[in-house]
Amino acid sequence: MSVLESKKLPYPRPPHMKKTELRPVLATTLKDDDLFEDFLMKEIDLSENEGLDIRFLTGIINHSRFDGTKLSRTKMANIVIENSYLSNADWNKSLFSSVAINGSKLTGFQAISGKWNDVVIKRSKADLSLLALTKMKNIVFEDCILTDADFQECDMDNVRFNGCNLTNTSFLGARFKNVDLRGSNIEKIKISPDQFNGIIIEPIQAAYLIGATGAKVAWLNDKEA
* Whole-prediction pTM: 0.88
d(CA 124, CA 122): 5
Q: Are 59 and 37 in contact (CB under 8 A)?
A: yes
For 12-23, the pLDDT digits (tens) are 988 988 877 899
Domain ranges in the chain are 37-211
From 112-121, 123-132, 170-179, 206-215, the region with the lowest mean pLDDT: 206-215
Nearest by Cα to 13 from 94, 76, 78: 78
Q: Region 63-90: what's the mean pLDDT?
A: 97
Whether 184 has a pLDDT exceeding 80, the answer reads yes
What are the distances in angstroms from CA 152 to CA 42, 51, 66, 80, 129? Answer: 34, 26, 24, 26, 11
Q: Region 6-16: what's the mean pLDDT?
A: 75
pLDDT at position 4: 41
Nearest by Cα to 107 from 188, 165, 54: 165
Domain made up of 37-211: CATH architecture: 3 Solenoid (2.160)
From 13-22, 70-79, 90-99, 179-188, the region with the lowest mean pLDDT: 13-22
d(CA 129, CA 138): 19
pLDDT at position 195: 82
